[in-house]
């Protein structure tokens, strides 16, 4: 270690190249970690009326006999109210994992439930779909696979007229998709991608939000980069559909932007970008420009409101931009030109200040983007200096070791651009801040501080 350090004290080109190589290796590891951080989750819609949710209606674990009775009443009851009530009782029982296991082991239970789902009575259909939704929320893949006979009908109902029913079907499909590869294998040839693409034309915000959720679950599948995202198979490919263009439209700033919908589709875009299947295609569609404008819009919103929900959208937007900027195709398709505006740097610092005060855990996301902006761009480094943003950057050093390393990496990006940049870096509080970081117990922070000092010695010997 020390012999390598000694070699770097000589003002040679190879010292700078070695520093760059090491930082690029660190960034590659960081990008990989960011790509692998996913948000696998399930969502549950329960909209019981207040009178149904009272103390007298507490859900109980059901045994085989009770379930058989409810299914028989739902199937053969003489009154529609009686049939609906039986399904309601069954649905409440299915909130318990024990009842769910008993249900799928009960002979003919799923066949009966699918029969009720396909009946010509809307209320019975809705209650049967709600029962399936309760089952879909299970964390057991065997229960998800037991629901396979219903998936083709759930897909068919996505083209229906009831927005509430479509929303319920989408959340149910999203829950099933994430739990089992067998479910995904069945849904792809059944046409889930075209069905989802058709839903994106819906005028209903709740449907669009549910669509974004279902799509994000599909995109997180381990086989997505090979079988779901690539444009090789038009029948089941995301990139061969119109979904990417529509996603970008959903992220366009303006009065029509809905935060809930935008959050869902920003994560969808994040998972597509992380697959690294065809990012030049997204850049060509103007993804960098759209995301850059959305970043400016978010910074403006932060200044206007104290809404703590803004970070829900900021996080995937920052990740999308950061990943796209690492693409070799950025320069060839004019990607950097889409972001070459010092307003982007100013907006990013507004968000960093917001995170610093409200959500420190998101500071690494913003700093990661700043690192990728400044890594190969003298113009963004110039913006950082001309806007006097070095001091606010140094104020983030005490937050955590992770934040300290990223702040120092950004400063290294600026310093490695040459003597003129080092000359503008050095005045002010940089030296006291660096001396303070050298006393840190974290070896990575100390190492990054020494690399910054080395660059300053290299380009500005009077330091």
CA distance 177 to 271: 15
CA distance 221 to 225: 8
Q: Which of 189, 180, 174 is nearest to 146 (CA)?
A: 180
Count, residues in the chain = 463
pLDDT at 377: 87
Tell me the per-residue pLDDT of 428-447, one tens digit each, with 9 for 90 and over: 788 889 989 999 999 999 99
Distances (CA, A) of 257 to 144, 156, 212, 350: 34, 29, 14, 21
- Say if residues 20 and 416 touch (Cβ distance below 8 Å): yes
Tell me the per-residue pLDDT of 109-147, one tens digit each, with 9 for 90 and over: 999 999 999 999 999 999 999 999 999 999 888 999 999
pLDDT at 211: 97
Q: Is residue 75 classed exposed, middle or buried when 0-12, 13-18 and 19+ CB atoms within 10 A define those classes?
A: middle
Residues 6+ apart with CB under 8 A from 1: none
Task: Give the tokens for residue 389.
Answer: 């943003």
pLDDT at 49: 42
Report helix angle 310-325 to 259-275, nearest 10: 30
CA distance 143 to 364: 38
CA distance 73 to 81: 10
pLDDT at 58: 54
Q: Is residue 207 classed exposed, middle or buried when 0-12, 13-18 and 19+ CB atoms within 10 A define those classes?
A: buried
pLDDT at 53: 42
List the chain residues with pLDDT less than 50.
1-14, 23, 27, 30-38, 49-57, 335
According to DSSP, residue 226 is labeled I
According to DSSP, residue 108 is labeled T
Residues 6+ apart with CB under 8 A from 86: 69, 70, 71, 73, 74, 77
């Amino acid at each position: 270690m020390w012999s390598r350090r000694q070699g770097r004290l000589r003002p040679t080109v190879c010292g700078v190249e070695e520093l760059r190589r090491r930082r690029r290796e660190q960034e590659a590891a960081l990008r990989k970690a960011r790509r692998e951080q996913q948000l696998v989750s399930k969502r549950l819609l329960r909209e019981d009326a207040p009178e149904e949710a009272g103390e007298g209606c507490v859900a109980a674990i059901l045994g085989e006999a009770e379930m058989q009775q409810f299914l028989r009443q739902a199937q053969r009851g003489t009154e529609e109210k009686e049939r609906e009530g039986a399904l309601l009782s069954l649905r409440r029982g299915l909130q318990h994992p024990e009842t769910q296991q008993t249900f799928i082991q009960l002979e003919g239970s799923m066949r009966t439930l699918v029969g009720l789902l396909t009946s010509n009575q809307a209320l019975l259909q809705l209650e049967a779909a709600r029962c399936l939704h309760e089952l879909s929320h299970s964390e057991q893949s065997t229960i998800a696979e037991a629901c396979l006979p219903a998936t083709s009908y759930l897909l068919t109902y996505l083209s229906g007229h009831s927005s509430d029913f479509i929303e319920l079907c989408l959340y149910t499909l999203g829950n099933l998709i994430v739990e089992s590869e067998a479910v995904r294998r069945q849904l792809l040839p059944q046409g889930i991608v075209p069905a989802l693409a058709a839903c994106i034309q819906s005028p209903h915000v709740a449907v669009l939000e549910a669509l974004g959720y279902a799509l994000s679950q599909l995109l997180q599948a381990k086989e997505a980069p090979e079988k779901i995202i690539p444009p090789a198979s038009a029948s089941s490919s995301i990139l061969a559909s119109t979904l990417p263009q529509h996603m970008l439209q959903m992220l366009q700033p303006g009065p029509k932007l809905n935060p809930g919908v935008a959050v869902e589709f920003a994560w969808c875009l994040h998972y597509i970008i992380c697959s690294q299947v065809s990012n030049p295609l997204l850049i060509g569609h103007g993804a960098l420009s759209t995301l850059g404008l959305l970043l400016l819009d978010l910074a403006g919103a932060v200044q206007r409101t104290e809404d703590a929900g803004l970070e829900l959208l900021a996080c995937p937007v920052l990740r999308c931009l950061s990943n796209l900027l690492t693409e070799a195709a950025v320069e060839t398709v004019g990607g950097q030109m889409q972001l070459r505006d010092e307003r982007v740097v100013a907006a990013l610092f507004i968000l960093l200040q917001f995170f610093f005060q409200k959500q420190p855990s998101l500071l690494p996301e913003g700093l990661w983007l700043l690192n990728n902006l400044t890594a190969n761009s003298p113009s963004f480094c110039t913006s950082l200096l001309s806007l006097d943003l070095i001091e606010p950057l140094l104020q983030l050093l005490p937050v955590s070791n992770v934040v300290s390393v990223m702040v120092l990496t950004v400063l290294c990006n600026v310093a490695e651009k040459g003597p003129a940049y080092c000359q503008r870096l050095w005045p002010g509080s940089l030296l006291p801040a660096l001396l303070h970081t050298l006393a840190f117990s974290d070896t990575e922070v100390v190492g990054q501080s020494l690399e910054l000092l080395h660059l300053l010695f290299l380009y500005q010997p009077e330091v």
